[in-house]
Structure 1
Amino acid sequence: FSPDSRWIGFFADGQLKKISTSGGLPMTLCAAPVGAGASWGANGMIVFAGTTGAGLSRVSDAGGKPEPVTQLDAQKGEFSHRWPEWLPDERAVLYTVGTTGSWDDAQIVGQSVASGERSVLVRGGTNPHYVPGYLVYSRGGAIMAVPFDAARLTATGTPVRVLDNVVQSFDGAAQLSVSRSGIAVYVAGVFESDQRTLATVDRGGAATPLAAPPRPYATPHLSPDGRRVLVTIEQAMSDLWVYEIAPGTLTQLTFDSGARFPVWSPDGQRAAFSSNKTGALNLFVIDVARPGTGERLTSSDNLQIAGSWSSDGQTLAFVEQHPTQGRNIRLIAPNDRSTRAWLDSTFEEGAPRFSPDGRWLAYVSSESGRHEVYIRLLAGSSGRQQVSNDGGTEPVWARDGRELFYREGDKMMAVRVTSSGANLQAARPLTLFDGRFAKGSIDAANYDVTPDGQRFLMVQSDQQSSGSTMFHVLTHWVASAGSTLAPPR
């Protein structure tokens, strides 16, 4: 809500919008490809997280060009600032800092907008709210509270659990809203477990679970022969594992490396990945037959995310996020480690995927004002075509190069592709199935396609959130938590 309750702000179609509570058409305020929280101040400014993998921005409630409020500290492994909330004087903002592990391992920070000075208030929590005298936040489906001095940006005492069974999603959002007076409304339900399973899904949406034990899996990638799965297991220090489908064995590949976003080499002998163990996410490579920590390919202060290996094994496409320029796509030759820009723009680009013949790259861009999937000729600046038409992320090619798959929300989409020389034709996208499988991001797909193009390797929640459709309203709820919560003096 706006402070006067006359407007409602919301994210839709890759944009931050507002609509009057008395009705009418919505108004677009600015681009916001992936909304991850916003707070509307009485000063007429909205602070918001407009995309994953970036800091916070603010924009006038009349619309306009956003300006940055926070910047990621890549050296500390930060990959996202989200779920902001203005403090009462609107000189400082609360928000969540994502680093490694799950959102239960995140930090909650208070930051002065004028000076940029930060105070870490909580280590291990997400989605903060201010209740007079207290900071409340979510952790594992419970709402915690700790005494908080908003003027000094200091939290004191031991956090206390004040509410259980609040729906919390994988992106760190809790289904809880708090008014300035301290009244709260929430949706009750089971916390979405971070334990997930791997499953193959046919083109009609029927899922068949694999025998791999439940783990916090992410970004699975099938080997060239389709017999092995390279997958991230997310934890306090994420690592890569290899799952062999036929025998059903799961073997650790990296150890305490902070590894994620794995990509098979075309010969199935090596894997490229990103690691933030020694600073910002940078590129590494490892021999799959020799588990360990891998070999560093790049050394940069910028966050880098492995994307796709060309079919000849000579080039690796990756995303690099610059603090002021945003995400762009670059290429590296793993043999001599030389890098070059491929797509530098003022827009957000991600998830680069080489076509099987190595002549094209599919990728995601925000140039239209929301995330869409594009295909572009690798050499030269011509031959670009938009593939999706109603939003799209997570492009993955079929192994024969005749289809490109992507996701539109919960839908799996397929596009027939034909090319001749520098010309490419993409048919109208078709929906294959609509299912609630774990989503990826602008950076990387959270699924893969079998070599025959008939099944999809997907990640499923082991325990889906079971939220009710009823809102629960609370008054005087924090103060009644008990004598263990003493307000700051």
Structure 2
Amino acid sequence: MRLIFTAIVACALATPAASQSLSISLPEGHEFTSPDRQPFSLSPDGTRVVYLARATVFVKMLRGGEPILVQGPLQGRGKTNPIFSPDGQSILYWASDDAVLQRVPVNGGTPVTIAAVDNPLGLSWGADGQVLVGAGTKGVLRVSANGGAVDTIVKMSTGEAARAPQMLPGGDAVLFTLAEGTPANWNQPRIVVQSIRTGQRTTVTAGRDARYLPSGHLVYVAGATLMATAFDPRTVTMTGQPVAIAEGVQTTGATGAALFSAAANGSLAFVGTGAVPIQLALVGLDGSRKVLGTVPAGTTAPRISADSQKVTFAAAGDIYVADMSNVNGARKVISGGTFPLFSPDGQWLAFGSLGTARERGEERLFMQRADGSGEAELVVKPGRAPEHWLTGDQGFTFITHRGGANNYDLWAYSSEKKEVEPLVVINESAQLSSSLSPDKKWFAYMSSESGDWQIYVQPYPTTGVKYQVTMRGGRSPMWAAGGRLVFDNDGRMFSVSAQMGAQPSFGTPVELPVTGYIQPLLRRNWDITPDGTQLLMLFRPGPRIDVLSDWTNRVPAPSAR
């Protein structure tokens, strides 16, 4: 679902003055990464926003200018929870590769690892230099922004989980959201305050993701409404009537996140529940675009049939098939599947399960009729996703995931032998997005073995020899017409000549005028037509960010503190 920042103002009091709002639009293709784990945050002075798109850290001024990519953090690697330091000069985020918190200067630089923690349910960085981590059933953790030991300052009892912590003035009371149940029921959360010294816990109100502001206000989300009230941190009580600031705030049941951010200067931003359709389009290598139609929310990885007449894709855990001439009429053909791939004759689909309940959590690959008839046939286990067909219908390449965040390997499945063979297996590295050349004698792929994503080519069958194609980064290669490879690099498409033979050689990558397509994380989210002349891609307008300010004139003023 598309996430849109909105600033709809719905005041619970019939008062007067309207709040000021500022709207900006992010570039097309800047879909938020991991939207269920706080993908954006306002700077303390309310002048900038840091956000994650394409698993890359961006900073944008709210009053003009283009988003700036923060150099340093590895691009295209999983990240969550970006926040600013209290002085606005650094950014903290969680990096999935090593499951660590990392800090980087806002203007770019070498990331500094702070501590190893599980994927956070919210972060905060206090003026005292301490970082609080919402750790779910592990409670609330604290670590210095300069690194060091990780301490548990709030413990959970069985059946409790914590998220979105913040230290209140005085350094003893922790404000956080509490959920109960196993698993945690984030649909009925409470906002609580707990003393580190005594362990006494006080319920403030029903709601989630509260933030105490220097103005003396508490802002939080109740249901889908952004609320504000005067609050006394000494007595841990609301001292005024809560007022509705905005309606329609998006929340997620899986993690309990309310998608909004509060700046220390009082500016507020939130993600609304509206959605804009995703469009499927054919794109020429010259950048020309022909929209084919709209596809369901959550559509990923479209794949075209060998005769160019049909397209298949996954959306929200199901697989769809449509005629290229009638994309709007896509039909759901398989439930509980993902990463579909047409067989060369277009009569079958190979697809993955990604550990659905049907497979008891194990990743497996299946084959089933492309019209959804018949039963799914198990062909490979374990296996995450099929990638490219070998000669005829003799099998396909596929990837496995060995548990680590960055630990994928490439294999080939033989439908004749009913066996698998390794293509590229490297421990603690990711090898994926394989594509066979038109003559099926070579395969290209992306690998992180050098520390960053680069593109390589090997003979097929493998001989142990490999050739590095890119030196400055590259992902998701595909063979195009005219003896070229096309590939993505951080939302930009490139083409490189490939002279294959006894001694393969590759030219210098040239950027193509193709931008704005949706490309999340690792999996290739586009395809190329069989004649190698057009790209099949997904598009949607960039998120709109509305920032709300001067709302305090509608909320009862805090009593003297």
Answer yes or no: same fold by TM over 0.5: yes
Give the aligned partner of residue 486 of structure 1.
none
Give the aligned partner of residue 264 of structure 1.
342
Give the aligned partner of residue 287 of structure 1.
369
CA distance in 1: counterparts of 2:332 and 2:70, whole angstroms: 50
Instruction: Select the residue among 49, 62, 73 that pairs with 2:94.
Output: 49
Amino acid at match of 2:512: L
Whether contact under 8 Å (2:284, 2:534) holds in the other structure is yes
Give the aligned partner of residue 34 of structure 1.
77
Instruction: Select the residue among 296, 314, 323 that pairs with 2:378.
Output: 296
Alignment of 1:3-402 (within 5 A): 33-34=76-77, 36-37=79-80, 38=82, 48-51=93-96, 56-58=99-101, 68-70=116-118, 81=119, 85=123, 93-94=133-134, 121=161, 130=166, 132=168, 133-135=175-177, 146-149=190-193, 157-159=206-208, 160=222, 161-162=225-226, 163-164=246-247, 177-178=261-262, 185-187=267-269, 193=275, 195-212=277-294, 215-234=297-316, 238-246=317-325, 248=327, 249-255=329-335, 257=336, 259-275=337-353, 276-278=355-357, 279-291=361-373, 294-300=376-382, 304-324=384-404, 326-335=406-415, 336-341=417-422, 342-378=424-460, 379-387=462-470, 389-398=471-480, 402=483
Give the aligned partner of residue 76 of structure 1.
none
CA distance in 2: counterparts of 1:450 and 1:197, whole angstroms: 17
Give the aligned partner of residue 15 of structure 2.
none
Structure having the higher Rg:
2
Whether contact under 8 Å (1:87, 1:93) holds in the other structure is no
The structural deviation recorded for 1:232 is: 1.0
Change in Cα spacing, 1:166 to 1:429, as seen in structure 2 (3 Å) is: farther
Change in Cα spacing, 1:128 to 1:294, as seen in structure 2 (3 Å) is: farther
Residues 405-435 of structure 1: CA distance to partner in whole angstroms, max 9, x if unpaired? 11223322212212003x3222211222142
Whether contact under 8 Å (1:175, 1:186) holds in the other structure is no
CA distance in 1: counterparts of 2:159 and 2:288, whole angstroms: 48
Instruction: Select the residue among 529, 534, 555 that pairs with 1:455.
Output: 534
Whether contact under 8 Å (1:356, 1:401) holds in the other structure is no
* 3-state SS, counterpart of residue 409 of structure 1: coil
The structural deviation recorded for 1:174 is: 8.9
CA distance in 2: counterparts of 1:14 and 1:213, whole angstroms: 23
Change in Cα spacing, 1:157 to 1:177, as seen in structure 2 (3 Å) is: closer
Deviates more, 1:56-65 or 1:286-295: 56-65
Change in Cα spacing, 1:198 to 1:66, as seen in structure 2 (3 Å) is: same
Change in Cα spacing, 1:262 to 1:392, as seen in structure 2 (3 Å) is: same
CA distance in 2: counterparts of 1:382 and 1:333, whole angstroms: 21
Amino acid at match of 2:525: N
Residues 9-52 of structure 1: CA distance to partner in whole angstroms, max 9, x if unpaired? 999999999xxxxxxxx99987565252346899xx9974335x
Amino acid at match of 2:527: D
CA distance in 2: counterparts of 1:114 and 1:304, whole angstroms: 37
Residues 258-285 of structure 1: CA distance to partner in whole angstroms, max 9, x if unpaired? x221122233222222213221443222
Amino acid at match of 1:405: V
The structural deviation recorded for 1:230 is: 0.8
Whether contact under 8 Å (1:405, 1:415) holds in the other structure is yes
CA distance in 1: counterparts of 2:542 and 2:293, whole angstroms: 19
CA distance in 2: counterparts of 1:215 and 1:47, whole angstroms: 30
Amino acid at match of 1:85: L
Unaligned ranges ≥5, structure 2: 1-40, 59-68, 105-109, 142-149, 169-174, 179-187, 209-221, 227-245
* 3-state SS, counterpart of residue 433 of structure 1: coil
Give the aligned partner of residue 406 of structure 1.
487
Whether contact under 8 Å (1:254, 1:293) holds in the other structure is no
Percent identity, aligned pairs only, is 18
CA distance in 2: counterparts of 1:178 and 1:340, whole angstroms: 52
Whether contact under 8 Å (2:277, 2:295) holds in the other structure is no
The structural deviation recorded for 1:243 is: 0.8
CA distance in 2: counterparts of 1:90 and 1:157, whole angstroms: 27
Count of aligned residue pairs for this structure pair:
416
* 3-state SS, counterpart of residue 209 of structure 1: strand
Whether contact under 8 Å (1:48, 1:82) holds in the other structure is no
Give the aligned partner of residue 433 of structure 1.
513
Change in Cα spacing, 1:12 to 1:216, as seen in structure 2 (3 Å) is: closer
Change in Cα spacing, 1:46 to 1:304, as seen in structure 2 (3 Å) is: farther
CA distance in 2: counterparts of 1:167 and 1:82, whole angstroms: 19
* 3-state SS, counterpart of residue 262 of structure 1: strand
CA distance in 1: counterparts of 2:56 and 2:321, whole angstroms: 38
Instruction: Select the residue among 460, 465, 487 that pairs with 2:543.
Output: 465
CA distance in 2: counterparts of 1:208 and 1:294, whole angstroms: 34
Change in Cα spacing, 1:214 to 1:10, as seen in structure 2 (3 Å) is: closer
Whether contact under 8 Å (2:519, 2:525) holds in the other structure is yes
CA distance in 2: counterparts of 1:320 and 1:226, whole angstroms: 28
Whether contact under 8 Å (1:403, 1:416) holds in the other structure is yes
* 3-state SS, counterpart of residue 420 of structure 2: strand
Amino acid at match of 1:94: G
Change in Cα spacing, 1:351 to 1:49, as seen in structure 2 (3 Å) is: farther
Change in Cα spacing, 1:449 to 1:4, as seen in structure 2 (3 Å) is: closer
* 3-state SS, counterpart of residue 254 of structure 1: strand
Residues 155-185 of structure 1: CA distance to partner in whole angstroms, max 9, x if unpaired? 98455021457899xxx99985446xx6654
Change in Cα spacing, 1:206 to 1:270, as seen in structure 2 (3 Å) is: same
CA distance in 1: counterparts of 2:300 and 2:506, whole angstroms: 29
CA distance in 2: counterparts of 1:202 and 1:247, whole angstroms: 20
Give the aligned partner of residue 21 of structure 1.
none
CA distance in 2: counterparts of 1:65 and 1:453, whole angstroms: 43
CA distance in 1: counterparts of 2:430 and 2:122, whole angstroms: 21
